[in-house]
Every structure is written in C-alpha cells, then in structure tokens.
Chain A
C-alpha cells in the first residue's frame, strides 16, 4: 500500500514561471491537506480539499496560489508567477475522513521548490 506520493521531489523555477506540485493521496483517502514549511519555521496550513471541493483555503495566499483535487487524478497545488519568497518545502497530507483520527493522517515526503 503506497503512502502519500508527491512529485516532483525537487522543482526549480525562475522568477515569473509557474510551479505545479502534485499529490496522490493514499488509497482510500479522499481528504487532502497542503502545508508549507519555510526555513526555520513550522509547517503552515494552506488548504484542505475533498474530491472536487475546496473546504478550507484560509491559509492560502490570496493571489497566485490555487489548489484543486479533481474527481480523477492527483491534487494539484499551482503557484503562478513564482517569487523567491515562494521557495519552501510543500507537504501534502491525506486522511480517509477528517477530525479525531490523527493516526490515519499521513504526510508525503514533500516537494522542495527553489525559485532562482
């Protein structure tokens, strides 16, 4: 049973380009969370999605960032017109159902985004 799969592991972009980060949840999991980890900081919640629905995007920057979790395929975190401050590790987590079942919340290994 594969864990949460994130790709690419490393992504290098120049300022102004677009970054697309992918997350395939664990089999049977329909809830996906994206977190960002900046150097010397803890993980910060960005967005919570269920299939075809954004449930909570309170941690997403208002501009340039978007996320989706289509009926088929992985969840995508998209960053348009990247800037150096977007350089961070982006982690995805998935769970079968939300709340109170933290032993079933699993994180992927992350995508390290570097903006030149």
Chain B
C-alpha cells in the first residue's frame, strides 16, 4: 500500500465548476499537508499548505485536512481553463526536513 493515494484522473470539468481533489494517506505522523500545481514540463509550485487538521482558504482555493480520517481535499471554485494542470498532494512529518511524500497527481482539464 502506498503511503499517499491519489486518483490520477483525468478529471474534466466545464469552466465555472467547483472541483474537488482528494488524497488519502496511511502515515499518522504526517503533520504538514500541501497541494502543488504542476503544468506540463514544469516543476511543481506550491498552492496551499496546512498544518494539522482544519480548513484554509486562499482566493478560489480551499484546503481541508481531516487527520482522523487521514483524508485531505482541495476545492477550486469558479474553475478556469488556466487551472488545467496536474495537482499533487504532498505531506511531511516536518521535524527539520522538507522531505515530502507526494501523491501521483490528478490531471485536471477545465474546458471553456
């Protein structure tokens, strides 16, 4: 079993839709949870990160962490064609390292 599971998609939605992306994990030591966006042939760029459980909102993006269920989500409101990319969840136990454990990524396509 992988430490982090993520549905690879692809997920195809119309412009303006609400997108829900999810990851599950097995390691209860994870405390830091991140979502990265990766465009084709580019490096990942950080969208959101949260510590422990709870919600965090930034513009059209909301990240949720449920540590009791070992489940994290990223919601994108009013999705745009420019949001078309691969979204990677990543996690870390912290403790003086930026060693991240990534999900496989979900490919999102937002069509006009």
* Chain A residues engaging chain B, CB cutoff 8 angstroms: 4, 31, 33, 35, 40-45, 48, 55-56, 91, 93, 95, 98-103, 105, 107-110, 112
* Chain B residues engaging chain A, CB cutoff 8 angstroms: 4, 6, 8, 32, 34, 41-46, 49, 51, 88, 90, 92, 94-105
Task: Return 10 A-B CB contacts under 8 Å, by A number.
Answer: A33-B98, A33-B99, A42-B104, A43-B102, A45-B100, A99-B92, A102-B92, A105-B46, A109-B42, A110-B41
Q: Are B104 and A93 in contact (CB under 8 A)?
A: no
Q: Are A45 and B99 in contact (CB under 8 A)?
A: yes
Q: Are A107 and B101 in contact (CB under 8 A)?
A: no
Q: Are A48 and B98 in contact (CB under 8 A)?
A: yes
Q: Which residue of B lies closest to A109 (CB)?
A: B43
- Min CB distance A35 to B, Å, is 8
Expressed in whole angstroms, the Cα–Cα distance for A101 and B97 within the complex equals 10
